[in-house]
Amino acid sequence: MSSKLSRRRLLQVAGATGAAVTALGYVIGESLAPRRHPPVLQRHPPVVGVITSDILSPVARENRLPGTTGWEITAGSDTTFIQGYASQVSAAPGETVTLYISTKVQSPYNIDVYRIGWYGGAGGRLHFSQHNLKGVAQGNWTITKGLVNCPTALIDPQTHLVDANWHSSIELPIGSDWVSGVYLIKLTATPFAGLVTSQSYIPLVVRDPQERAAILFTLPVNTYQAYNLWGGSSLYGLVGATATGEGSAATKATKVSFNRPYDRSAGAGDFLAWDIHIVQWIEREGFDVSYATNVDIAAHPDSLLRHRVITSGSHDEYWTKSMRDGMEAARDQGVSLAFFGANAAYWQARLEPDHAGRINRTLVCYKVAANTKDPHSLLTLDPLFHAQPEMVTAQWRDPAINRPENALLGLMYSSYFNYQAKGYTLPDWVVKTGELDRLMVGTGLAPGMHIKGGLLGYEFDRVWDNGHTPSSLVVLSQSPVINVYHQQTHACTAYYRAESGALVCDIGSIWWGWGLSEKSPRTAYQPNLLKGSEPIKALTRNIVEAMLQASPTAPNGMSLPTLTPLP
């Protein structure tokens, strides 16, 4: 091994250890002394894209272990016969999670728990299995047949909340050695002899109780749940109803429950469509990362100060007040923020207990608005409007709240397009003309360069002239788009440096993760239309590395990991 390390290699080590470096072509610092790998390492050869040092973050160590593609749903499987959900969206090692599982008829089933990561391209690693469990019919929902044989379901006719309220099926122990990450609990049942196997997922995030990683990835489960139609209602519509607009509560739920399976992507929610690509790219790069969810940040916003960089998932639309306050406080204390999607922080929402008093199991958003003529969207329809007007569930930019998203993100949600419309051509992502920004140096990108359709969309952000755009905003891309209303507009990618020194970057496109991966999970409700872009991978890497340089330590000084040599 050479005594000199590449710039990228040193930046990754610095990202894991908290060492201060200067990124993007400037002085990097002293090279690290070479270490001799013990022979035992030959059992687990280095994975492409993972740091090959003896000193690794827990996630990088995890990704050197053998992986498997067994986490994927088997081709041809039915994904509706067996369904399930978990008692919580995240857990820490040593805790126990209750699983609630239903089969259409009594049938044996298996549980296999996979951690999702890079693993040499396999994408996952098996952590737990329990087979030949007894399936019980507790209810089933499909878009065509509706909710069937679910006597325990709690349905609120006013808010349209649907809570499956199933009986517990199994207690899942979270191993003390389970590394923080996104886990998919794969359920497998054989309905009848000779018929196809049925498989589905329950997603779960395992947190790092020490909160020691340089980077925290936050999974946007609030948005997953907002769009979840299981049981017949979501914050966007009721099955069989005629929609009357984004902001109206006439044909939409105003409360949705986490006590039900996800209808999308075989039970994985939106994870397989977009966020899995970001997760696997981060782990392939070897960055020091741990994971949490919206619900965790809402409950403990101070935890953001234990990290140097916060990364937000592809579609992080629903934020509680504590989330917004926590993100702003983190930025103002030097924590860098990367929004790897679009439409972030669009609606203010609240989290409430469920019928049994279990906290944070109900997502609330009445979608009210000031100055509206829609009788179903009046501010007074939110029960907290008079008592706590700052908690009203309106858009953050609405005059009732007056905290536009671009005050934090730099950009703000603009619109979307229907990529499946007949004759619609996907818009290209276009590098802004003029001098190439330093974040793009070495990426292969050039002024005016186009990345083909599939990176930009389907929702997108842009610059707004509303008096809240940060004065230091730097626009990296400006791309022409025809939105769903047949209007010519544009989408942007941009960043700014806050007064604290932190960098804040808003990618401005939900599909950004498709530029980071060549793969497309079999049951993703939106397949990967781009299948990777090397310049976009390089730009994303530069953004993360620049943020680690801009935020060399966490505000409370507790994010520096204790790394140990490999055995």
What DSSP string describes 539-559? HHHHHHHHHHHH--S-TTS--
Q: What's the pLDDT tens digit per position in 362-375?
A: 999 999 999 999 99
Q: What residues contact residue 147 under an 8 Å CB cut-off, 6+ apart?
A: 139, 140, 141, 153, 162, 231, 232
Integer Cα distance of 203 and 192 in angstroms = 26
Share of the chain above pLDDT 90, in %: 83
48-57, 77-86, 158-167, 480-489: segment of lowest average pLDDT:
48-57
Same domain, 26 and 82: no
Q: Is residue 1 in some structural domain? A: no
Q: Is residue 95 in some structural domain? A: yes
Same domain, 104 and 28: no
Q: Which residues pair with 338 in a beta bridge?
A: 311, 505
Same domain, 26 and 102: no
| Residue where a domain terminates, one of 62, 83, 101 | 62
Task: Please state the rounded mean pLDDT for residues 282-302.
Answer: 97
102-111, 183-192, 263-272: segment of lowest average pLDDT:
183-192
Task: Please state the rounded mean pLDDT for residues 45-71.
Answer: 73
Q: Is residue 171 in some structural domain? A: yes
Q: Mean pLDDT, the chain, as a whole number?
A: 89
- In this structure, the strands spanning 309-312 and 215-219 are parallel
Contact between 320 and 298 (Cβ < 8 Å) = yes
Residue 500 in 3-state DSSP?
coil
Residue 20 has pLDDT above 60, yes or no: no
Same domain, 72 and 38: no
Which CATH number belongs to the domain containing residue 78 in this structure?
A: 2.60.40.1930
Same domain, 41 and 121: no
Q: What's the pLDDT tens digit per position in 424-471?
A: 999 999 999 999 999 999 999 999 999 999 999 999 999 999 999 999
Contact between 143 and 229 (Cβ < 8 Å) = yes
When computed from its CA atoms, the radius of gyration of the chain, rounded to whole angstroms, is: 23
Contact between 103 and 199 (Cβ < 8 Å) = no
pTM metric for this prediction: 0.89
pLDDT of residue 251: 82
| Residue where a domain terminates, one of 169, 188, 206 | 206
Q: Is residue 298 in some structural domain? A: no
Same domain, 133 and 171: yes
Same domain, 79 and 188: yes
Residue 37 has pLDDT above 70, yes or no: no
340-349, 384-393, 402-411, 555-564: segment of lowest average pLDDT:
555-564
Residue 310 in 3-state DSSP?
strand
Same domain, 140 and 177: yes
Task: Please give the distance of CA 27 from its chain centroid, rounded to a whole number.
Answer: 34
Range of the domain at 18: 7-62
pLDDT of residue 557: 59
Residue 16 has pLDDT above 50, yes or no: no
Contact between 139 and 164 (Cβ < 8 Å) = yes
Q: Is residue 143 in some structural domain? A: yes
Q: How far is CA 65 from CA 119, 153, 382, 461, 469, in A?
A: 7, 42, 50, 39, 45
Q: How far is CA 289 from CA 234, 369, 505, in A?
A: 32, 38, 18
Residue 29 has pLDDT above 80, yes or no: no
53-62, 172-181, 274-283, 290-299: segment of lowest average pLDDT:
53-62
Same domain, 134 and 155: yes
Same domain, 102 and 190: yes
Contact between 255 and 222 (Cβ < 8 Å) = no
Same domain, 196 and 99: yes
Q: How far is CA 327 from CA 88, 417, 456, 556, in A?
A: 23, 29, 25, 15
Q: Is residue 243 in some structural domain? A: no
Task: Please state the rounded mean pLDDT for residues 128-157.
Answer: 96
Q: Is residue 17 in some structural domain? A: yes
Number of domains in the chain: 2
Contact between 247 and 377 (Cβ < 8 Å) = yes
Choose from 1-5, 8-12, 100-104 the range with maximum mean pLDDT. Answer: 100-104
pLDDT of residue 25: 31
13-27, 268-282, 472-486, 502-516: segment of lowest average pLDDT:
13-27
Q: Is residue 339 in some structural domain? A: no
Same domain, 54 and 72: no
